[in-house]
Amino acid sequence: MTIRHAVTLSVGDELLAGETLDTHGRTIAAALAERGCRVLEHRVLGDDVANIAAAILAATASADLVVITGGLGPTLDDVSREALAEAMNEPLVEDATSRAHLETWYAGRGRVMPAGNVRQAMRPVSARCLENPNGTAPGLQARMGAALVVVLPGPPREMRPMLEGVLNEQLPGEPRPAIVIRAFGIGESDAAERIEPLMRRDQKLPVATTVSQSLLSARIRGNRPEDRELIESLAAQVEKAWHPYVFGRDDVTLPMALGAEIKEAGRTVATAESCTGGLVGSMLTEVPGSSGWYPGGWVVYENARKIEDLGVAAELIERDGAVSQSVISAMAEGARRRAGSDYGVSTSGVAGPDGGSADKPVGTVWIAVADEAGIDARCFHFPGGRSVIRDRTAKTALQLLRLRIRGDASDLLWQRDASS
Amino acid sequence: MTIRHAVTLSVGDELLAGETLDTHGRTIAAALAERGCRVLEHRVLGDDVANIAAAILAATASADLVVITGGLGPTLDDVSREALAEAMNEPLVEDATSRAHLETWYAGRGRVMPAGNVRQAMRPVSARCLENPNGTAPGLQARMGAALVVVLPGPPREMRPMLEGVLNEQLPGEPRPAIVIRAFGIGESDAAERIEPLMRRDQKLPVATTVSQSLLSARIRGNRPEDRELIESLAAQVEKAWHPYVFGRDDVTLPMALGAEIKEAGRTVATAESCTGGLVGSMLTEVPGSSGWYPGGWVVYENARKIEDLGVAAELIERDGAVSQSVISAMAEGARRRAGSDYGVSTSGVAGPDGGSADKPVGTVWIAVADEAGIDARCFHFPGGRSVIRDRTAKTALQLLRLRIRGDASDLLWQRDASS
């Protein structure tokens, strides 16, 4: 039987209480989309046996696959096991293999299994347990009429490998073709206008745009392997329309794209961060192998650090303030010189909530890139609260460096007059 | 009419395609929970007029309040406006005030309104538009039978203030009492065992635990203002049972808790980061006012930086490797000395995916805190992939510093033999 339509359920009172962010809906949808299975709906439910059981039954009426995450833990508020048994109208029995796995797991860590944890070895009679190499809770897999129902543990590092095992078994074969174009530094409305004809609903494969965490994406999804050529042509049109803001496709992140380009160019970069406090360095070092092109950097939060560690002249700070063209330039050049790197990138701004003035309101940020040819220093005014301003600052610094490597001087979103 | 039960809908193909993470379910649930309104269910739906309209109708049957987010943007795949009109069986008309707002918004930015954006000024005849000071899309508010239906724009910084406005108007009054205890550095099973009697379902207000991004939480929620005393007593019991791993309550983050304690102690801390690449500094500077106790730090990704910037002896790195007790200790002490701070915190480890060895597999991380009394250096073995290892390293560094300030030498989760 081919699996084409899924319903996903995330279980946990904490998800409906606003306590914990549900990320499984996205993770599972992405994995299913790649394999040509469409998620009809995602539901988030509380820890209630009757409600979960009813949702499982309803889902099996419309979907070939029902994936439930959460509620398999050792604590008393974990009831997904019981809910599946109720939906299947079957009793729970102890699974000998799972019981043995549980005992081995604890013994291997020199710990005694807490008494409550034995519940995790229970399964509905006709269901089977899915082995969990990364934790104590086994998953469950059962057939209900035409639908396959799978219950996976909540912790992501336990859920993901188990999900992959299920999908490899149940949805083998060629993934459905799709391309996602990733961009940063252009506004969503402007970007949409540039590709408006491609986005029309009457197109064979309409392009859809989204913005998440200030990153712009354009998604193009085919239905069959033969759509690949059209998708590629559409992707190329979007890339051209959004040039030079496009940094990659699919799972490529801005730090990964920058890392690949700087590595390709055989160059290195050092950082000098004030308002981002290490966020730029943290993003760069997300990239495996970044040690090849990132020697390190300085978090110069107080002015004394800017002066002592980067050689910024105290008089500049005194005269222009730490958030200024002169100081940001000296920071970028100081980092470059001290680290002996090809590029130096610096950030200094007013992230708020305090510290703003009429002249330099919260959101005012200077960013600079220094290299052997000189210094490109720009002033931005980022909207948002403290964490959004910091995140936008760090991403803009990465994109500014990326454009500098390519010799492109285009303006970026939220840039003020360069002379301000 | 009192609003007690809500259903929330998040709209967007990108959410079901696994493209974008839906965070609005959590945000809205948290805001509603505080005001005594329970979310019965959260549904994620695609950009389809008929499906959204059907979901709105179904939700109005069970809930007093239906909150829809997303699908109000200027692009052609934004159809929540049309779906609400269909659910209400009303035509869309142009709202003059919203049209004027749109034109002013663009004029104020020296831009011409893209032609497509005028759609954003449409509303169902009997609905009213909600002003959006932070963007172009107005929200919508309508009554359908006994239920209030609200449509809010997708971008969080536009959605949140509009949500707050709606809730202040519709759900005024005393928030429902609740306390969330926040902890880090103890395993979930161990933590649950310590408070097992408080978690039983037959308790008047059972305590529920969750783990998210390695942070442990215990939630205690009352039903009426009179429950406040019981909640406080339960919270105190959890805090005692989980001591010293509890760092705060409710919205307090680990960096905020640490910041408050270090500020209270009148002390300062500098950072020396290798495998975290700036993440510890980034977490510390999330805290407004961190400039008062965090002068800055060093990202010493390459060994030359450890030697030049922090005075780590090259022979130590040669002899013991960069991931070792001797080097991590010299890094912490070097940061403390160079910054003239009271504490120095350092991280060095194998974050993977490459670089592991039989002796020091991926996940092996040394963390140290130096102060005038000496150096506490510990070796950890963190499970997970690169980003999880880095995140756990940074949080453990913060918690280790917090315990050091309190004079507490307790072991932390994932700690190996301290002598290794």
What ipTM did this prediction achieve?
A: 0.83
In angstroms, the separation between the Cα of residue A398 and the nearest Cα of chain B is 15
| pLDDT by residue, tens only, chain B of 420 residues | 688 999 999 999 889 988 788 999 999 999 998 888 999 999 999 999 999 999 999 999 989 999 999 999 888 889 999 999 999 999 999 999 999 999 988 888 887 888 878 889 999 999 999 999 888 889 999 999 999 999 999 988 899 999 999 999 998 877 788 999 999 999 988 999 999 999 998 899 999 898 889 999 999 988 888 999 999 999 999 999 999 999 999 999 999 999 999 999 999 999 999 999 999 999 999 999 999 999 999 999 999 999 999 999 999 999 999 999 999 999 999 999 999 999 999 999 999 999 999 999 999 999 999 999 999 999 999 998 999 999 999 999 999 999 999 999 999 999 996 543
Question: CB of A250 within 8 Å of any CB in chain B?
Answer: no
* B27 contact partners, CB below 8 Å, separation of at least 6: A18, B156, B159, B160, B163
In this prediction, residue B201 carries a pLDDT of 80
Same structural domain, A9 and A98: yes
The domain containing residue B238 runs over which residues? 178-249
Same structural domain, B14 and B60: yes
Torsion sign (Cα): A279, A283, A289, A295: negative
Question: CB of A19 within 8 Å of any CB in chain B?
Answer: yes
Same structural domain, B49 and B122: yes
Last residue of a domain, one of A215, A249, A283: A249
B241 inside domain: yes
**Residue to test with chain A: of B8, B27, B160, B210, most A Cβ within 10 A:** B210
Same structural domain, A9 and A136: yes
Last residue of a domain, one of B143, B170, B197: B170
Residue A89 tokens, joined: 């109208």
What H or E segment, with its residue span, contains residue A218? strand A215-221
Q: Under a CB-based contact definition with an 8 Å cutoff, are residues A19 and B30 in contact?
A: yes
**Residue to test with chain B: of A13, A39, A189, most B Cβ within 10 A:** A189
**Among the residues of A171-295, which ranges form H helices?**
188-194, 196-199, 228-241, 254-264, 279-284
In this prediction, residue B420 carries a pLDDT of 39
| Contact between B339 and A221 using a beta-carbon 8 Å cutoff | no
Last residue of a domain, one of A226, A249, A272: A249
Nearest chain B alpha carbon to A351: B288
B418 inside domain: no
In this prediction, residue B52 carries a pLDDT of 95
Residue B151, strand partner residues: B68, B140
What H or E segment, with its residue span, contains residue B331? helix B325-339
Question: CB of A279 within 8 Å of any CB in chain B?
Answer: yes
Per the prediction, chain A carries an average pLDDT of 94
The owner of tokens 């600052």 is A393
A39 → closest Cβ in B16, B28, B42: B16
B278 → closest Cβ in A28, A209, A280: A280
Say whether B204 sits in a helix, a strand or coil. Answer: coil
A19 → closest Cβ in B217, B288, B388: B217
Question: CB of A54 within 8 Å of any CB in chain B?
Answer: no
A415 inside domain: no
Nearest chain B alpha carbon to A390: B286
CATH number, position B159: 3.40.980.10
The pLDDT > 90 percentage for chain A reads 80
Same structural domain, B39 and B70: yes
Q: How far apart are CA A285 and CA B302, in angstroms?
A: 12
Same structural domain, A93 and A110: yes
Same structural domain, A304 and A357: yes
A72 inside domain: yes
| Contact between B189 and A74 using a beta-carbon 8 Å cutoff | yes
In this prediction, residue A309 carries a pLDDT of 96
When pLDDT is cut at 50, 70 and 90, the band that residue A176 belongs to is confident
B157 → closest Cβ in A134, A299, A383: A383
In angstroms, the separation between the Cα of residue B291 and the nearest Cα of chain A is 6
When pLDDT is cut at 50, 70 and 90, the band that residue A111 belongs to is confident
When pLDDT is cut at 50, 70 and 90, the band that residue A417 belongs to is low
**Residue to test with chain B: of A19, A24, A390, most B Cβ within 10 A:** A19
pLDDT tens digit sequence for A30-42: 999 888 899 999 9
In this prediction, residue A419 carries a pLDDT of 43
pLDDT tens digit sequence for A201-222: 889 999 989 888 999 999 998 8
Same structural domain, A154 and A26: yes
A26 inside domain: yes
What H or E segment, with its residue span, contains residue B304? helix B303-310
Q: How many A/B residue pairs have CB atoms within 8 Å?
A: 306
Same structural domain, B226 and B135: no
In angstroms, the separation between the Cα of residue B23 and the nearest Cα of chain A is 7
pLDDT tens digit sequence for A351-375: 999 999 999 999 999 999 999 999 9
A416 inside domain: no
A296 inside domain: yes
Same structural domain, B340 and B262: yes
How many domains does one find in chain A? Answer: 3
B414 inside domain: no
CATH number, position B393: 3.90.950.20
Question: CB of A353 within 8 Å of any CB in chain B?
Answer: yes
Nearest chain A alpha carbon to B34: A17
Closest CA to A93 of A121, A74, A118: A121
The lowest-confidence range among A49-63, A312-326, B385-399 is A49-63
| Contact between B44 and A41 using a beta-carbon 8 Å cutoff | yes
What H or E segment, with its residue span, contains residue B282? helix B279-284
Q: Under a CB-based contact definition with an 8 Å cutoff, are residues A84 and A149 in contact?
A: yes
Residue type, A225: P
| Contact between B33 and A44 using a beta-carbon 8 Å cutoff | no
Same structural domain, B145 and B224: no
Q: What pTM was computed for the model?
A: 0.83
Same structural domain, A126 and A16: yes
Question: CB of A292 within 8 Å of any CB in chain B?
Answer: no
Query: Is residue A316's pLDDT more than 90?
Result: yes
In this prediction, residue A18 carries a pLDDT of 85
Query: Is residue A175's pLDDT more than 80?
Result: no
In angstroms, the separation between the Cα of residue A416 and the nearest Cα of chain B is 11
Question: CB of B309 within 8 Å of any CB in chain A?
Answer: yes
CATH number, position A207: 3.30.70.2860
Question: CB of B15 within 8 Å of any CB in chain A?
Answer: yes
| Contact between A14 and B299 using a beta-carbon 8 Å cutoff | no
| Contact between B284 and A277 using a beta-carbon 8 Å cutoff | yes
